[in-house]
Every structure is written in structure tokens, then in C-alpha cells.
Amino acid sequence: MLWLLSVVYDGRNPFFTNKRYSIKKKYYNDETQQIEIYDDHTGHKPYLLAKHKPDFNYYEIQKIEKITKIDRLYDTEREVYKIITKTPLAIPRLTERMKNNVIWENKIKYTTCYICDNKLVPCMPYETTRSSDYIRVKHDENILKEIMSGVGNESNDFFDWLPHYIDVYLTPVPSVRRCAIDIEVEEEAPKKVPNPQYAKQPVISIVIVGSDGKSYCFVNKERKEPPSHNDVNYLNEWEMIHEALQICDNYPITLTFNGDGFDIKYLRNRLRRLSKKINIPVYIDNDGFAHFRNSVHIDLQLFLQQAAIQKYAFRGAYKNTSLEECCQSLFNMGKIKHDGLVRDLPTDKLLEYNYMDAWLTLYLTQFNDEILLKLAFFAARVNKCDLMTVTRKSAMAWLSSRFAWIHRHDNILIPRREDIQKLKGTASKKGKTGAKFSGAKVLEPVPGVFWNAVLVDFTSMYASIIKEYNISYETIKCGHPECKRRLPRLGYQICSKYNGIISTHLSLDLTLRKNYFKPKAKQTGDPSLKAIEQFIKVEVNMSWGIVGNDKFDYYCEPAAEGITDTGQFNLLSLREEAMNPVYVDSVPLSKLQRLRCDTLYGHTDSCMLNNPHDLMLEHLKNFCLQKLGIELDVEARYLVVFLTSRKANYIGIEITKNGNKAVIKGLQGKKSNTPPLFQKTFKTVLRLLEEVKDEKSLEETKNKIINVVRRTRKKIITKKVTPQEVSFNISLSRELSTYHKTIPQHVRAALLLKEMGEEIHSGDIISYVKCKDGSVQPVELARPEDIDVKKYNQQLKSIFAPLFEPLNINYDSVIEGKKTIIDF
Ligand SMILES: [Zn+2]
């Protein structure tokens, strides 16, 4: 089978000179495990759509056709002129010359336009390169039956598209043969990162590690000390770079960590510097993407940086996207540590270090059953972006291309943003602090200690609202006299004649995940199903953020406002029904009214209930499903919660299958850069809290907690601590040389280390101690007597005072011994 990995336009591509301008498609042949490149055979050309025929001649125009499009925004059919040009570059020029005309679809990237018009689905398998129909892998009949039976009452559009999504998700992801490359460049001086634009410094070593078990090591012959292994290539610099790039180009996929920004760019520019005659299989396009002639280059750092991946897929497991931080957080391994400059390492050590980086880069696509590769494939298939694009562009670009494909597929005119705004207008209520429309609702927390609280939340709330109320740019305020349904609070009309394009496709994601992939993944433990389930969740959750973003191609303010406002309505309705039940179900109302319960706290889509009866919980679930059209889930049951007056700041003792577990929200002690002594104290306090059984034992626990915190405070005052215990540990997010104006404390400490000759890089963890007179010292240099007692006591207080507030302990008087008004 041939898997379509990438679609590139060769207009400016130096590999394909002396040929006519056109599209090249890169397929992965899974039998030969090689890339195969094919020209477009359809004669497709770029175009834009216009209301009027241009009244001028232009040599770039190849042809003009009159075509009919469906205009869903104005609910009409529309005849437009399709103005076909010879090259994509002509599109902006033509747009400029047609200022007085009405123009549609002129801003779509040409490769996207090509993928859409040919109905191609990137990362799906094809029989031949001339076909635009992907191979329909035969799915298990039972699975199909199960999916269908779970779907229920949906629209025709939904069922028309359902088979497509089943194919997209159930077609397996091939384990493509791939390699990772990493290079080491001789540092000019400490603190100075070589500039890949000029590539002045020599490359000293290169390592390539392949998924096929092969690896290739290169060392620059200028180094006096030869490598001790025979299989290391000890070559001239240009020979070594040239050979390494050729090896990568023979792999279907080449992986790098920051290859666009450094490695590949450096190799290319260095090679050009060394020899003008060599044919280099790499070029950098206008977007700064580094392309190989054959191989598809994925820069994993860029992919891991994407909010969709960092925030939603890996739930913020890594804080910054250095190789060290990503690998440590995702699979607990890291770079090889060394002292001094890389160039000064003995050759064998240098190779070991270099090898590890390349290996880690490869392993990022292998750990956890190749989850990262799978996420990239699913994202490419669902959003119709090729692999190069989907791993580099933001979720906004993903969705733009996804919906462009859907519009073109159904011959629907892609609306102009200004037309959406003109027709639908703006939000009717402004949000707080100048926001275009009001955001999420917060039910202010009630501070105190509460027993048997239950946290409930609406499942994928915003996406569920989009689905339930059929919200899309063309269906909100549709204007059809026959459409009578309205949004609950804003009263905006909702279309019942058509299903919205955005709502239909999000419903498909939501329904497939909820009714099939999520329960199935849980039941079977199958990692492939788990990957699909995880991906759909990413797509659904990020979609809401995009639909509400005014930069989105299909942004419609009343739609975005309608979604958040209905979210507020849902949360308030839930509270009202809990406190004062009026909805009738199988439990008599009189009984429910005796079971009424208070809400303790609410935020966006979740709500904490005070000691609700099981019947009440069941009742609320029914109420939400029947009256609000949304599922309510029990997120956690707490033996006890300690709420503070600040939002998203509480401690709960959650009842789990494996005993009680303390859950901390927003309080400082958990953060990883907090000094170990405070973390340890915090953990001890949590363990004490986990032992709480009832109100009586809570009082005893409170006394124990007070003693623990007092002991820590005493240790600080008497300076009986080691510098390690009180160190702050912060990872360096940029190279030291890039800090100029404001120098944060951890950077100051890093500079001191640098002065001592240590090599410091972005991603390194810097440990420092706060000392008297506002100075800082790296842990290595600090002495206990230097520590700033006042600062550390403040820190201790900032961690424990918020925790003591709901426990009703006065930090000032109990810990610091300050007298309160009552004492006088
Ligand atoms: Zn309507």
C-alpha cells in the first residue's frame, strides 16, 4: 500500500527545476519501505472565485469558468467565476487587481487547495498514486454494528460522513521506517550558541539512529583524537555532512529535535559554505520548514510545542520543550550529563553524548506504543493537513484546513469572514475586562471544611453545547421564518432546517469517542483504541478554543457567545436544580425537596456539591440529560474538602479504590520548583490529612499539622538546613546569552556557575538558594548561614497560610506567635 505522507508544491523548489510547476506527492510504500514521489497527473491549477468576470486581460490567467456553488451562509445557490491561474503566486497579484470585485477562497494555501479538490486524505493508504480514493481497509463487522447501535438519533449529514470518520480512525497507523539525526557543533566560546544562518563553526560529530536498528556515527577528521570504534566514520567535514544528509534522505521520515531551527539548517548552510559544487538534498521553504528531497522531515520540538499536544494530549506533563524536559517527563530518561564544553569531551564521550540525543529523539516516536506518531497521523487524516504541515502548524491551521476540505467536498462556498460578520453581527453582551463576549462562569467558593462533597462535571461541555444547539456560523440566527428553536438565555434563533457544518463534524467526534472509543478502550485496554480516544479528545477540546477565537476563518461572534453563555446557563441551572428541585422524574418532588443540597464551588463545567444524596445525584444526571441535553459525570467523591475563598484553590481527600488520596488544586506546595524542605513538609501534611476519618480525628490531625509546620519554621530560623533542602530548582527556558534586560534569579545563579567554568544550556535545571541582601547563590556555593531567613519564612507562610485558612487555623498566631486582637 502507498501511504500519502506529504504534498509539496515545487514552484520554488530547487530539487525539481527544469520541470513545469506542479504538485509532488510523497508516498510511503510499506512493502519496499521507501518513499516514492509522483507528479500530479490531474493538471490541477490554483484558482480563486469571483462574483464578476474580470474586465482586464492578465497573462497569468489560464482559464475562466462559470460554476455554481452552494452558499450556506445566505442559504442560496450562487453562480461564480472560477478564475484559474498558472501559478499560486498569481493569486495574491490577481486579488490585488480585483479589489472592486467580490472574491472568495483566495487565501487557501495551494497545497491545501490541491488536497481538498482531489479529496485526498493525508496519511491514508492508496492503491495507486493516480487514485484519489484511499483504500477502505475492511473493518470488523461487529465493530461497525456496535458503533452504529450507539449512535442513536442523528442527522442525515451525520450518517453521510460517519463512514469517513470510521475509516480515518480505524485504519491502522503504519510503523514507518524512520531515523533521527542530531549534530554537535564546536562552540566558539562559552555562552555562545552557533548561528545556523552563517554556520561558521565546524560540525564535530553527527549521529543518525534508525528505527530499523541501524545507526551511523560520524566524527570530523580535524579532531586529533580518533574514535576507538571501527564502525565510526572518521571523515572530512564536508564528506561527513554530505553522507549524513544522504542517509537521512533515504529514510521515508527523518526526525529531529529543532531541525528547522538548528540541525538541518546548520548542515545545509555549512555544506554550502564548505563547497558550492555539492548537490544538497535539503532546502528551506518560505515558512522556514527544512525539506529533504525525498524524506519527510518532522521536527518533534515544534510538534511537542503545539498547544494541542502539550496541553491536551500530554496534559502539561512537560513545562518547556527542551529535549531533556520532554524525555524526562514522558518516559523518565534524559541526556547524558557532562562538564565543560562539548568540544572538549574526549571523542568517544562526544559520540556517546551525541548518540543519546539522537536516540532520545527517535524514542520520542516509539515510547508508549508509538503514541506521538499516531497522534500525528490522526491529526493529519482528520484535518487533511500533510505530515510536514500538521506537525508544525497550530490547531487553528488544522481546523481551517479541515473545514476547507469539508466545504469543497460538498461544493459549499467557503464564506468570507466579513460576510459572516455582516450577516450575523457581534455579541449582544460584552464580557468582563473588554472581552468581546462573556466567558466561563464561576460560582464563588464557600470557604470551610465540608464532609462528603462530590465534584460533578459536564462531559465535553462546550462541544456538547455546539452539538445540542446545532451551533455553526450558518445555523445561528439563520433567519428562516420556520425555525422556531432558540438559545436559552440569549434567545438567538437556531436552525432546524439544516445541520451546521461545524456542529455536524464536532458531533461526529464527540459521539464516536463517547459511544465507542472511550468505553472500548477502557474495556479492552487496547493501546490503539486508547490512542484514537486520546486523539479525538484533543481534537474536540481544542476545537472549542478555536471556534471562539476571532482569528478563525469561520469565526462567528454570536455563535461563540452563544456557546459560552449557554455554558453559564448550564452551570446555573444545575445549581438551581440542586438547591431547589422542580424537574419531575421517577423520584417524587416532595422527597427530592427534602434532599436538596448546596453547591460549594463551580467553575466553567464543573460543580462541587455539598453532601448530596445518591438519589439527588441520579436526579441531577437525569435533569442535565433531559433538560440541558448534556451528560453529567461524577468526577470525584471526597471524604472531606477544605475550600479557600480563592477560586481553583482547595484540598480534597478523595475516596478512591486504593484508599484515600489527597488532591491539591492550585496551592503552592505541589509546584516542582518549591524547595525540597517545603515540599517534604507539604507532603507530610498531606499524609496526615489522608489519615483523617471523621471530625474528631480532624482536630487531632490539625494539632499534628501545626507541629510539623512549626518544626520546619524552627529549622529555618536556627539555620539547621542544608542548601539543597532550601534550593529553588528552575529549568532554564532559553540560552543564557539571550537574557539581556531583566535577569531572573535562577539566571543570575546560572551566570555564577558559568563564571566557574560550568557549561549551561537551555533546559538545564538551575538550583539556587536565596541569600541575605537579596542575593542568590548556586547550591554548590551556598552556606547554611547565608540563607535569608525572612524570605524563607515568607515562603513557608505563602504555602501554608492558604491551606490553614479552610482548616480554621490562624497562621500568624499559631505558627508565628503573633498576638491577635482576641489575645489582648
Ligand atoms: Zn433555519
Has residue 19 got a pLDDT over 90?
Answer: no
Expressed in angstroms and rounded, the spacing between residue 496 Cα and the centre of ligand 1 is 5
| Predicted local distance difference test score (pLDDT) of residue 824 | 47
Could you say which of 3.40.50.720, 3.30.342.10, 3.40.50.2300, 3.40.50.620 is the CATH number of the domain covering 2-134?
3.30.342.10
Look at residue 54 and tell me whether its pLDDT is greater than 90. yes
Kind plus residue range of the DSSP H or E element containing 158 = helix 156-170
In this predicted model, what pLDDT tens digit does every residue of 514-550 receive, in sequence order? 888 999 899 998 888 999 999 999 999 888 888 889 9
pLDDT of 20 > 80? The answer is: no
Cα of 541 vs centre of ligand 1, distance in Å, is 27
Q: Which residues pair with 400 in a beta bridge?
A: none
17 against 472, higher pLDDT: 472
- How far away, in angstroms, is 384 Cα from ligand 1 center? 29
Report the CATH number of the 728-786 domain. Answer: 1.10.132.60
pLDDT above 70: percentage of residues in the chain: 97
Average pLDDT over residues 477-495: 95
192-232, pLDDT tens digit by residue?
778 999 999 999 999 999 999 999 999 999 998 999 988 99
Give the mean model confidence (pLDDT) for residues 750-779.
85
Cα 415 to ligand 1 centroid, rounded to whole Å: 17
- For residue 510, what pLDDT is reported? 92
500 Cα–ligand 1 center, Å: 10
Q: Separation of 574 CA from ligand 1 center, angstroms?
A: 29
How far does residue 401's CA lie from ligand 1's centre (Å)? 26
222-261 confidence digits (pLDDT tens)? 998 999 988 999 999 999 999 999 999 999 999 999 999 9
| Environment class of 797 (CB within 10 Å of its CB; exposed 0-12, middle 13-18, buried 19+) | middle
**Domain 2-134 identical in fold to domain 178-371:** no
Please state which CATH class domain 178-371 belongs to: alpha beta
- What mean pLDDT comes out for the span 438-466? 92
735: pLDDT strictly greater than 90: no
Q: What percent of the chain has pLDDT over 90?
A: 66
Measured CA distances, 434 to 113, 324, 438, 490 (Å): 37, 40, 9, 19
Could you tell me the residue ranges of all domains in the chain?
2-134, 178-371, 415-653, 667-721+791-823, 728-786
Q: Can you read off the three cell numbers belonging to residue 732? A: 532554564
Instruction: Tell the residue number behind the cell numbers 529543532, with chain if given.
Output: 258
Instruction: Give residue 543 CA to ligand 1 midpoint distance, Å.
Output: 24
Amino acid occupying residue 286? N
CA of 622 to the centre of ligand 1 (A): 29
pLDDT of residue 126: 96
How much distance in Å is there from the Cα of 662 to the middle of ligand 1?
50
Q: What is the mean pLDDT of residues 711-718?
A: 93
- Distance from the CA of 480 to the center of ligand 1, in angstroms? 4
pLDDT of res. 440 = 84
Task: Tell me, in angstroms, the distance from the centre of ligand 1 to residue 444's CA.
Answer: 38
Summary count for the chain: helices (H), strands (E): 26, 27
Say whether pLDDT at 432 is over 80: no
Candidates 246, 303, 289, 269; CA nearest to 194 is 269
pLDDT at 648: 81
Residue 638 bridge partners (DSSP): 654
Long-range contacts of 345-350 (CB under 8 A, 24+ apart): 346/225, 347/219, 347/223, 347/225, 347/226, 347/227, 347/228, 348/227, 348/228, 348/229, 350/184, 350/204, 350/205, 350/219
CA of 507 to the centre of ligand 1 (A): 19
Alpha-carbon span 340 to 346, nearest angstrom: 12
Give 499 Cα–ligand 1 centroid separation in angstroms: 9
- Does residue 713 register a pLDDT over 50? yes
Ligand 1 mean position to 425 CA, how many Å? 17
CA of 481 to the centre of ligand 1 (A): 7
Query: If pLDDT is split at 50, 70 and 90, which confidence band does 596 have?
Result: very high
Q: Which of 421, 416, 553 is nearest to 51 (CA)?
A: 416
Of the listed ranges 101-105, 184-188, 416-420, the least confidently predicted one is 184-188
Average pLDDT over the chain reads: 91
Q: If you average pLDDT over residues 170-174, what whole number do you get? A: 94
Q: Give the model's confidence band at 191: pLDDT under 50 very low, under 70 low, under 90 confident, else very high.
A: low
Q: Which CATH superfamily is domain 415-653 in?
A: B family DNA polymerase, palm domain (3.90.1600.10)
Give the per-residue pLDDT at 505: 95
> Which pLDDT score is estimated for 562?
95
Confidence of residue 16 (pLDDT cuts 50, 70, 90): low
Confidence check: pLDDT of 619 > 70: yes
Cα of 505 to ligand 1 centre, how many Å?
Answer: 18
- Lowest mean pLDDT segment, chosen from 92-101, 144-153, 256-265, 349-358: 144-153
Cell numbers standing for residue 562? 452563544
Ligand 1 center–CA 422 separation, angstroms: 18
Q: Tell me the pLDDT band of 785, cut-offs 50, 70 and 90.
A: confident
- Ligand 1 centroid – CA 509 distance (Å): 24
| Residues 6 or more apart in contact with residue 167 via CB below 8 angstroms | 124, 134, 136, 137, 139
pLDDT of 21 > 80? The answer is: no
Ligand 1 centroid–CA 479 distance in Å is 6
Residue 384 burial (CB count, 10 A): 26
**559 Cα: distance to centroid of ligand 1 (angstroms):** 14
pLDDT-derived band at 668 (thresholds 50, 70, 90) equals low
pLDDT at 323 over 70: yes
